[in-house]
């Protein structure tokens, strides 16, 4: 045993150091810049603090604030500082957990008094004090019994519960100043490395996410390595709030939610144009791909829902009613109705695949606290389809849906990612069937060379699924499209087709959506475009604005020309100044304004103002017509 150890670095180099050297000293030996930027390191397999002593040969890579890992450690350390501040202000606090999250951190507290927003500045001020005190984070290791004793005596029941669930003999604790918390680490070397954070909100959160357990108080904070990054993020949030679909929906007169129908949106005339335009597009794309369209009833006999399995697996989310002394349910999904339609006639293998689409209005009882504008509602229209197919057609049908989804999302310029969800706890059917179905979905994804994440246990109760998650302006992702492979419903409903051999066989089915729900998709579009829809989607595409009374007849002619060619055009001939009418049209996010005055009347032209690019100059009315109809046809 020598006193030297050999440390290797990510660039392939290696150097000898004295045994027991700290990570910080290694960083310093490499260079002062690294020493300053490092917050922790990976030694061998594990992440350790800068104060960690390296006792044996190992690969070492420094973790700096430039990396996601470094920022995570930074944010996590701030959550400890927040906990310490809360402890100073509320000595009776009990601590739950406090992880780093995207853009920041949170910590869950059990407090005898409710926190108010006014407490946040006080906690922030206390945190600033702790940062200034430059308290080192010290790692302590304890035997589990010892740690349990420590936290029991401190009355920290949540920590006791956490430790009891931890594997191994020892646990690690971190101390800064007089504050000690159970934590795996690593942490910043000292609180004065913290530069920019802001406490954001207080929220309720269940202990361990279990609605049967204690309701804790969670404080969310945002944090970045520099003040500039924090300011930038806060500014982004402000910009995002400006395009909130609830606000724009009201301003642009698209939809509303009334006290009389929480979660049941009303669509206004302009919202309906948007919606119908999307439906027209959707129908056309489906028609091209060999889909038929059906409509099934909203209320169906309860027996059907028992047969489908919804009664056992989905009752909590359903609405029920009674008709002529019989029990009925309002449909939460379209599939059982689709099953009945399949069964209305005998099918040959030659008919398959059968692609049956339905814009189906479904109702689901969502918890009142979960409702959110158009994004989370209690009734919505799914752009559903059920594909009945031979087992040999599974893969090509799935691929067809993936292509269709990609085609449709592309038109809107959406980025998306894909998730594969597997068998949930309350599932119907055997493991074998689930494995087979999941493997089929996987094969299709791999065949398409798509990256995907696996979401264990998140499938529908009747089958695994592929979900498409679109990314919105807040960086939130929304589940829109879904492809669910189902071997069970055909079984439950005894669906058959006659095979080549003249015998009855069981078809396989696919449930799928692209938009997901029309309502949610419209909400996402509003935020995505900040209300400034591309011309083809705009409820009003062109506003004809006449300067004076003398220009009215020609203005009407221009309007008629556009209207005859199916351009959605309105005319503003009010006795107002031009600037006033322009301003109003601009605020309504109308893509084009046509100013009609003396010059235009004389030359049969229009002065075109673009919502996005301002004054485009004068052009013959017919040229503008061609321009705008071209945009509409090209879905621009």
Mark whether 87 is an active-site residue. Answer: no
Identity of the residue, 80 or 376, whose beta carbon is nearer to RNA in the bound complex: 376
Minimum distance of RNA from residue 107's CB (angstroms): 12
Name which of residues 423 to 462 contact RNA (CB under 7 A).
Answer: 424, 458, 460
Identity of the residue, 6 or 599, whose beta carbon is nearer to RNA in the bound complex: 599
Mark whether 386 is an active-site residue. Answer: yes
Please report which residue ranges of 31-118 form alpha helices under DSSP H: 32-37, 68-89
Name which of residues 574 to 593 contact RNA (CB under 7 A).
Answer: 575-580, 582-583, 586-587, 593
Cα–Cα distance measured from residue 434 to residue 424, given in angstroms and rounded to the nearest whole number: 10
Mark whether 511 is an active-site residue. Answer: yes
Binding residues for RNA, rule CB under 7 A, total 71
Name which of residues 194 to 213 contact RNA (CB under 7 A).
Answer: 201-206, 209, 211
Cα–Cα distance measured from residue 503 to residue 355, given in angstroms and rounded to the nearest whole number: 22
Per-residue H/E/C for 508-552: EEEEEEEEEEHHHHHHHHHHHHCCCCCCCCCCCCEEEEECCHHHH
**What is the torsion angle, in degrees rounded to the nearest 10, for the CA atoms of residue 167, residue 171, residue 176 and residue 179?**
80
Name which of residues 480 to 499 contact RNA (CB under 7 A).
Answer: 480, 482
Binder to RNA among 167, 369, 413, 502 (CB under 7 A)? Answer: 369
59, 8 Cβ separation under 8 angstroms: yes
Name which of residues 110 to 129 contact RNA (CB under 7 A).
Answer: 114-117
Among the residue ranges 45-53, 69-77, 285-293, 596-604, the one whose residues contact RNA (CB under 7 A): 596-604
Name which of residues 330 to 349 contact RNA (CB under 7 A).
Answer: none
Mark whether 410 is an active-site residue. Answer: no
- Interaction pattern, residues 510-529, with RNA; x per rule: CB under 7 A: ---x--xx-xx---------
3-state secondary structure of 611: coil
Q: Using the rule CB under 7 A, is 242 a contact of RNA?
A: no
Binder to RNA among 104, 189, 373, 507 (CB under 7 A)? Answer: 373
Q: Check 511, 528, 571, 609 and give the catalytic one.
A: 511
Among the residue ranges 84-92, 322-330, 446-454, 478-486, the one whose residues contact RNA (CB under 7 A): 478-486
Six-digit token pair at 314? 């989905």
3-state secondary structure of 628: helix
Name which of residues 395 to 424 contact RNA (CB under 7 A).
Answer: 424
Mark whether 465 is an active-site residue. Answer: yes
Q: Using the rule CB under 7 A, is 286 a contact of RNA?
A: no
Q: Check 193, 386, 469, 581 and give the catalytic one.
A: 386
Q: Using the rule CB under 7 A, is 614 a contact of RNA?
A: yes
Q: Check 94, 465, 512, 589 and give the catalytic one.
A: 465
Identity of the residue, 17 or 529, whose beta carbon is nearer to RNA in the bound complex: 529
Identity of the residue, 40 or 460, whose beta carbon is nearer to RNA in the bound complex: 460
Minimum distance of RNA from residue 452's CB (angstroms): 15
Minimum distance of RNA from residue 488's CB (angstroms): 15
Minimum distance of RNA from residue 316's CB (angstroms): 8
- Residue showing tokens 């056309």: 284
Please report which residue ranges of 134-226 form alpha helices under DSSP H: 144-153, 157-165
Q: Using the rule CB under 7 A, is 36 a contact of RNA?
A: no
Cα three-residue angle 352-356-357, rounded to 5 degrees: 155
3-state secondary structure of 266: strand
Minimum distance of RNA from residue 262's CB (angstroms): 4
Q: Using the rule CB under 7 A, is 372 a contact of RNA?
A: yes
How far is CA 620 from its chain centroid?
45
Contacts 24+ apart (CB under 8 A), 63-66: 63/38, 63/39, 64/34, 64/37, 64/38, 64/39, 65/37, 65/39, 65/225, 66/37
Six-digit token pair at 605? 């032209």
Query: Quick one: which of 347, 386, 398, 334 has its CA closest to 506?
Result: 347
Cα–Cα distance measured from residue 484 to residue 75, given in angstroms and rounded to the nearest whole number: 38
Residues serving a catalytic function are: 335, 364, 382, 384, 386, 465, 511
């Amino acid at each position: 045993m020598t006193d030297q150890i050999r440390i290797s670095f990510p660039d392939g180099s290696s150097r000898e150091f004295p045994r027991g050297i700290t990570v910080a000293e290694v960083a310093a030996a490499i260079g002062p810049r690294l020493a300053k930027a490092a917050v922790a390191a990976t030694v061998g397999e594990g992440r350790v603090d800068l104060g960690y002593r390296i006792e044996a040969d190992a690969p070492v890579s420094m973790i700096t604030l430039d990396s996601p890992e470094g920022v995570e450690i930074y944010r996590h350390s701030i959550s400890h500082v927040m906990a310490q501040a809360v402890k100073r202000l509320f000595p009776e606090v009990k601590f739950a957990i406090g992880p780093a999250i995207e853009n920041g951190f949170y910590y869950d507290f059990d407090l005898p008094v409710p926190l108010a927003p006014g407490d946040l500045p006080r906690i922030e001020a206390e945190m600033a004090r702790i940062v200034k005190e430059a308290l080192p984070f010290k790692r302590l290791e304890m035997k589990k019994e010892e740690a349990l004793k420590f936290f029991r005596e401190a009355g920290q029941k949540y920590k006791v519960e956490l430790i009891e669930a931890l594997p191994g003999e020892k646990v690690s604790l971190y101390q800064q100043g007089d504050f000690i918390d159970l934590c795996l680490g690593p942490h910043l070397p000292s609180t004065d490395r913290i530069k920019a954070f802001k406490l954001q909100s207080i929220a309720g959160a269940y202990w361990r996410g279990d609605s049967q357990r204690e309701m804790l108080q969670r404080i969310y904070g945002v944090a970045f390595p520099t003040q500039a990054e924090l300011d930038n993020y806060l500014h982004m949030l402000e910009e995002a709030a400006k395009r909130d679909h609830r606000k724009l929906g009201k301003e642009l007169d698209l939809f509303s939610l009334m006290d009389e129908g929480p979660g049941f949106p009303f669509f206004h005339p302009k919202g309906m144009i948007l919606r119908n335009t999307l439906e027209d597009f959707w129908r056309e794309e489906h028609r091209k791909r060999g889909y038929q369209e059906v409509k099934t009833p909203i209320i169906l006999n309860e027996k059907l829902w028992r047969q489908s399995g919804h009664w056992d697996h989905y009752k909590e989310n359903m609405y029920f009613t009674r008709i002529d002394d019989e029990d009925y349910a309002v449909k939460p999904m379209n599939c059982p109705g689709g099953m009945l339609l399949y069964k209305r006639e005998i099918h040959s293998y030659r008919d398959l695949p059968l692609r049956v689409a339905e814009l189906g209005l479904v109702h689901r009882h969502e918890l009142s606290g979960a409702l959110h504008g158009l994004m989370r509602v209690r009734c919505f229209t799914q752009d559903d389809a059920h594909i009945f197919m031979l087992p040999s057609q599974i893969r090509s049908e799935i691929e067809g849906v993936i292509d269709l989804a990609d085609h449709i999302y592309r038109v809107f310029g959406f980025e998306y990612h894909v998730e594969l969800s597997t068998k949930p706890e309350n599932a119907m059917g055997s493991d074998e069937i689930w494995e087979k179905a999941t493997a089929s979905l996987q094969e299709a994804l791999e065949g398409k060379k798509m990256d995907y994440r696996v979401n264990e246990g998140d499938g529908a109760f009747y089958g695994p699924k592929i979900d498409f998650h679109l990314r919105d302006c807040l960086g939130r992702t929304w589940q829109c499209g879904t492809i669910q492979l189902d071997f069970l419903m055909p079984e439950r409903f005894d669906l058959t087709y006659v095979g080549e051999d003249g015998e009855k066989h069981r078809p396989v089915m696919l449930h799928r959506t692209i938009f997901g729900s029309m309502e949610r998709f419209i909400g996402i579009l509003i935020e995505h475009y900040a209300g400034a829809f591309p011309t083809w989607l705009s409820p009003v595409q062109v506003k004809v604005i006449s300067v004076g009374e003398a220009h009215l007849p020609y203005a009407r002619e221009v309007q008629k020309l556009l209207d005859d060619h199916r351009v959605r055009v309105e005319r503003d001939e009010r006795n107002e100044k031009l600037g006033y009418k322009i301003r109003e049209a601009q605020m309504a996010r109308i893509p084009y304004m046509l100013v009609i005055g003396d010059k235009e009347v004389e030359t049969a032209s229009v002065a075109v103002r673009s919502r996005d690019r301002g004054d485009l100059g004068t052009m013959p009315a017919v040229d503008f017509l061609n321009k705008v109809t071209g945009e509409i046809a090209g879905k621009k």
